[in-house]
Homo-oligomer: A and B are copies of this chain.
Amino acid sequence: MKLYDYFRSSAAYRVRIALNLKGLEYEAVPVHLVKDGGQHLQSAYRAINPSALLPSLQDDGATVTQSLSIIEYLEETHPFMPLLPHGALDRARVRALAQMVACDIHPITNLRVLKYLTGTLGVSEDAKTAWYRHWVREGLAAIETQLAHAPETGRFCHGDTPTMADCCLVPQVFNALRFSVDMAAYPTVERIGAACSELPAFAAAHPSQQNDAE
Protein backbone atom coordinates (compact mmCIF):
# COMPACT_ATOMS: atom_id res chain seq x y z
CA MET A 1 0.00 0.00 0.00
CA LYS A 2 1.12 3.54 -0.76
CA LEU A 3 0.18 6.44 1.49
CA TYR A 4 0.39 9.94 0.04
CA ASP A 5 1.59 11.65 3.14
CA TYR A 6 3.06 14.79 4.71
CA PHE A 7 4.69 14.53 8.09
CA ARG A 8 2.67 17.37 9.58
CA SER A 9 -0.69 16.58 7.98
CA SER A 10 -3.05 15.79 10.79
CA ALA A 11 -5.35 13.69 8.60
CA ALA A 12 -2.40 11.64 7.25
CA TYR A 13 -1.15 11.18 10.82
CA ARG A 14 -4.49 9.53 11.70
CA VAL A 15 -4.05 6.99 8.92
CA ARG A 16 -0.41 6.31 9.83
CA ILE A 17 -1.54 5.41 13.35
CA ALA A 18 -4.25 3.10 12.01
CA LEU A 19 -1.82 1.35 9.63
CA ASN A 20 0.67 0.89 12.46
CA LEU A 21 -1.94 -0.39 14.93
CA LYS A 22 -2.93 -3.04 12.39
CA GLY A 23 0.72 -3.80 11.68
CA LEU A 24 0.33 -3.06 7.96
CA GLU A 25 3.39 -2.22 5.88
CA TYR A 26 3.11 0.77 3.59
CA GLU A 27 5.24 3.03 1.47
CA ALA A 28 4.98 6.72 2.36
CA VAL A 29 4.98 9.03 -0.68
CA PRO A 30 5.65 12.56 0.57
CA VAL A 31 3.56 15.40 -0.85
CA HIS A 32 4.86 18.70 0.45
CA LEU A 33 2.07 21.09 1.44
CA VAL A 34 4.26 24.20 1.25
CA LYS A 35 7.12 23.61 -1.25
CA ASP A 36 6.54 24.50 -4.93
CA GLY A 37 3.43 26.47 -3.92
CA GLY A 38 2.01 23.23 -2.47
CA GLN A 39 2.71 19.97 -4.27
CA HIS A 40 -0.83 18.80 -3.42
CA LEU A 41 -2.21 21.54 -5.69
CA GLN A 42 -0.32 20.31 -8.76
CA SER A 43 -1.98 18.26 -11.47
CA ALA A 44 0.01 15.11 -10.69
CA TYR A 45 -1.55 14.89 -7.24
CA ARG A 46 -4.96 16.20 -8.31
CA ALA A 47 -5.15 13.25 -10.72
CA ILE A 48 -4.91 10.97 -7.67
CA ASN A 49 -7.14 13.03 -5.41
CA PRO A 50 -9.29 15.76 -7.00
CA SER A 51 -9.82 17.36 -3.59
CA ALA A 52 -6.07 18.13 -3.51
CA LEU A 53 -6.04 17.12 0.14
CA LEU A 54 -3.98 14.59 2.06
CA PRO A 55 -3.96 11.69 2.64
CA SER A 56 -4.73 9.27 -0.20
CA LEU A 57 -4.16 5.53 0.05
CA GLN A 58 -3.42 3.33 -2.93
CA ASP A 59 -4.06 -0.35 -2.50
CA ASP A 60 -3.59 -2.71 -5.40
CA GLY A 61 -3.99 0.15 -7.88
CA ALA A 62 -7.22 1.52 -6.37
CA THR A 63 -7.25 4.88 -4.61
CA VAL A 64 -9.11 5.62 -1.39
CA THR A 65 -9.38 9.20 -0.13
CA GLN A 66 -10.56 10.90 3.08
CA SER A 67 -8.86 9.76 6.28
CA LEU A 68 -11.94 8.34 8.01
CA SER A 69 -12.99 6.53 4.86
CA ILE A 70 -9.47 5.07 4.60
CA ILE A 71 -9.57 3.89 8.23
CA GLU A 72 -13.00 2.26 7.68
CA TYR A 73 -11.57 0.61 4.53
CA LEU A 74 -8.58 -0.75 6.48
CA GLU A 75 -10.97 -1.99 9.16
CA GLU A 76 -13.08 -3.87 6.60
CA THR A 77 -10.17 -5.32 4.63
CA HIS A 78 -7.93 -6.06 7.65
CA PRO A 79 -10.28 -6.78 10.54
CA PHE A 80 -7.59 -7.96 12.95
CA MET A 81 -6.66 -5.42 15.64
CA PRO A 82 -10.10 -3.82 15.29
CA LEU A 83 -10.34 -0.04 15.46
CA LEU A 84 -14.08 -0.16 16.07
CA PRO A 85 -15.82 -2.04 18.91
CA HIS A 86 -18.62 -4.60 18.36
CA GLY A 87 -21.99 -3.18 19.34
CA ALA A 88 -23.74 -0.65 17.13
CA LEU A 89 -24.02 1.95 19.91
CA ASP A 90 -20.36 1.53 20.85
CA ARG A 91 -19.34 1.87 17.22
CA ALA A 92 -21.49 4.99 16.94
CA ARG A 93 -19.78 6.47 20.00
CA VAL A 94 -16.31 5.85 18.57
CA ARG A 95 -17.24 7.23 15.15
CA ALA A 96 -18.84 10.29 16.76
CA LEU A 97 -15.68 11.01 18.77
CA ALA A 98 -13.59 10.63 15.61
CA GLN A 99 -15.92 13.01 13.77
CA MET A 100 -15.81 15.54 16.59
CA VAL A 101 -12.18 15.96 15.52
CA ALA A 102 -12.48 15.31 11.79
CA CYS A 103 -15.64 17.37 11.17
CA ASP A 104 -15.84 19.91 14.01
CA ILE A 105 -12.23 20.96 14.65
CA HIS A 106 -9.75 20.07 11.95
CA PRO A 107 -11.50 21.39 8.78
CA ILE A 108 -11.85 24.88 10.26
CA THR A 109 -8.25 25.08 11.45
CA ASN A 110 -6.26 23.48 8.65
CA LEU A 111 -3.66 25.17 6.50
CA ARG A 112 -5.88 26.17 3.55
CA VAL A 113 -8.37 27.90 5.85
CA LEU A 114 -5.65 29.73 7.80
CA LYS A 115 -4.15 30.87 4.48
CA TYR A 116 -7.51 32.24 3.33
CA LEU A 117 -7.86 34.13 6.62
CA THR A 118 -4.46 35.83 6.45
CA GLY A 119 -4.24 36.05 2.66
CA THR A 120 -7.67 36.79 1.18
CA LEU A 121 -9.23 38.33 4.29
CA GLY A 122 -6.08 40.07 5.54
CA VAL A 123 -6.60 38.87 9.10
CA SER A 124 -3.64 39.52 11.47
CA GLU A 125 -1.40 36.73 12.77
CA ASP A 126 -2.84 37.28 16.26
CA ALA A 127 -6.42 37.01 15.05
CA LYS A 128 -5.49 33.86 13.10
CA THR A 129 -4.03 32.27 16.23
CA ALA A 130 -7.12 33.28 18.23
CA TRP A 131 -9.32 31.65 15.52
CA TYR A 132 -7.26 28.47 15.72
CA ARG A 133 -7.41 28.26 19.49
CA HIS A 134 -11.13 29.11 19.60
CA TRP A 135 -12.19 26.13 17.46
CA VAL A 136 -9.71 23.76 19.08
CA ARG A 137 -10.94 24.74 22.56
CA GLU A 138 -14.62 24.45 21.59
CA GLY A 139 -13.99 21.03 20.12
CA LEU A 140 -11.75 19.67 22.87
CA ALA A 141 -14.16 20.89 25.55
CA ALA A 142 -16.97 18.89 23.94
CA ILE A 143 -14.73 15.83 23.60
CA GLU A 144 -13.60 16.16 27.22
CA THR A 145 -17.25 16.20 28.36
CA GLN A 146 -18.04 13.12 26.27
CA LEU A 147 -15.01 11.27 27.62
CA ALA A 148 -15.03 12.36 31.27
CA HIS A 149 -18.61 11.41 31.98
CA ALA A 150 -18.88 8.11 30.16
CA PRO A 151 -18.44 4.65 31.66
CA GLU A 152 -17.22 3.49 28.21
CA THR A 153 -14.06 5.58 28.52
CA GLY A 154 -11.11 3.50 29.65
CA ARG A 155 -7.38 3.75 29.22
CA PHE A 156 -8.27 4.99 25.72
CA CYS A 157 -11.29 6.86 24.29
CA HIS A 158 -13.36 3.67 24.27
CA GLY A 159 -12.27 0.89 26.58
CA ASP A 160 -8.74 -0.32 27.02
CA THR A 161 -7.65 -0.76 23.40
CA PRO A 162 -7.16 2.07 20.94
CA THR A 163 -9.86 2.80 18.37
CA MET A 164 -10.47 5.12 15.44
CA ALA A 165 -11.29 7.81 18.01
CA ASP A 166 -7.74 7.70 19.39
CA CYS A 167 -6.34 7.75 15.85
CA CYS A 168 -8.07 11.13 15.42
CA LEU A 169 -7.59 12.56 18.89
CA VAL A 170 -3.80 12.20 19.12
CA PRO A 171 -2.99 14.24 15.97
CA GLN A 172 -5.44 16.90 17.15
CA VAL A 173 -3.67 17.12 20.52
CA PHE A 174 -0.35 17.41 18.69
CA ASN A 175 -1.76 20.33 16.69
CA ALA A 176 -3.22 21.98 19.77
CA LEU A 177 0.17 21.89 21.47
CA ARG A 178 1.84 23.39 18.38
CA PHE A 179 -0.47 26.38 18.80
CA SER A 180 0.17 26.47 22.58
CA VAL A 181 -3.39 25.59 23.58
CA ASP A 182 -3.40 25.02 27.35
CA MET A 183 -4.47 21.41 27.81
CA ALA A 184 -5.15 21.69 31.57
CA ALA A 185 -8.88 22.11 30.90
CA TYR A 186 -9.00 18.71 29.15
CA PRO A 187 -7.50 16.27 31.68
CA THR A 188 -9.11 13.16 30.20
CA VAL A 189 -7.95 14.08 26.71
CA GLU A 190 -4.46 14.67 28.07
CA ARG A 191 -4.40 11.39 29.98
CA ILE A 192 -5.53 9.42 26.93
CA GLY A 193 -3.02 11.21 24.72
CA ALA A 194 -0.24 10.20 27.13
CA ALA A 195 -1.43 6.59 27.20
CA CYS A 196 -1.43 6.49 23.39
CA SER A 197 2.04 7.96 23.10
CA GLU A 198 3.40 4.98 25.04
CA LEU A 199 2.35 2.63 22.25
CA PRO A 200 4.89 2.02 19.46
CA ALA A 201 2.16 2.35 16.80
CA PHE A 202 1.47 5.94 17.87
CA ALA A 203 5.12 6.80 18.46
CA ALA A 204 6.14 5.61 14.99
CA ALA A 205 3.36 7.66 13.38
CA HIS A 206 4.48 10.89 15.08
CA PRO A 207 5.40 13.68 12.61
CA SER A 208 8.98 13.82 13.92
CA GLN A 209 9.50 10.16 12.98
CA GLN A 210 8.60 10.53 9.30
CA ASN A 211 11.19 10.50 6.54
CA ASP A 212 10.04 13.89 5.28
CA ALA A 213 10.16 15.52 8.75
CA GLU A 214 11.87 18.89 8.87
Q: Which residues of A contact B (CB under 8 A)?
A: 50-53, 62, 64-66, 68-70, 72-73, 76-77, 88-89, 91-93, 95-96, 99-100, 102-104, 106-108, 113, 116, 120-121, 123, 127, 130-131, 134, 139, 141-142, 145-146
A195 → chain B closest CB, angstroms: 22
Q: In the complex, what residues of B have CB within 8 A of residue A139's CB?
A: 51
Do the beta carbons of A92 and B107 come within 8 Å of each other?
Answer: no
15 pairs across A/B with beta carbons < 8 Å? Answer: A50-B141, A51-B104, A52-B142, A64-B93, A66-B99, A68-B68, A68-B99, A69-B99, A72-B91, A76-B88, A77-B88, A102-B103, A108-B108, A120-B134, A121-B131
Do the beta carbons of A92 and B64 come within 8 Å of each other?
Answer: yes
Q: How far is the CA of A69 from the CA of B96 in the complex (A)?
A: 5
Do the beta carbons of A62 and B50 come within 8 Å of each other?
Answer: no
Do the beta carbons of B62 and A89 come within 8 Å of each other?
Answer: yes
Q: In the complex, what residues of B have CB within 8 A of residue A91's CB?
A: 72-73, 76
Q: Knowing A66-B99, A116-B131 are in contact, say whether A53-B104 is a contact too (CB < 8 A).
A: yes
Q: Knowing A73-B89, A102-B103 are in contact, say whether A65-B113 is a contact too (CB < 8 A).
A: no
Of all chain B residues, which has the CB nearest A68?
B99
Q: Knowing A91-B73, A92-B73 are in contact, say whether A100-B145 is a contact too (CB < 8 A).
A: no
A137 → chain B closest CB, angstroms: 13
Q: Knowing A134-B116, A142-B50 are in contact, say whether A92-B108 is a contact too (CB < 8 A).
A: no
In the complex, the 5 A-B pairs of residues with the closest C-beta atoms, listed nearest first: A50-B145, A69-B95, A107-B107, A66-B99, A51-B142
Q: Knowing A89-B73, A99-B68 are in contact, say whether A121-B127 is a contact too (CB < 8 A).
A: yes
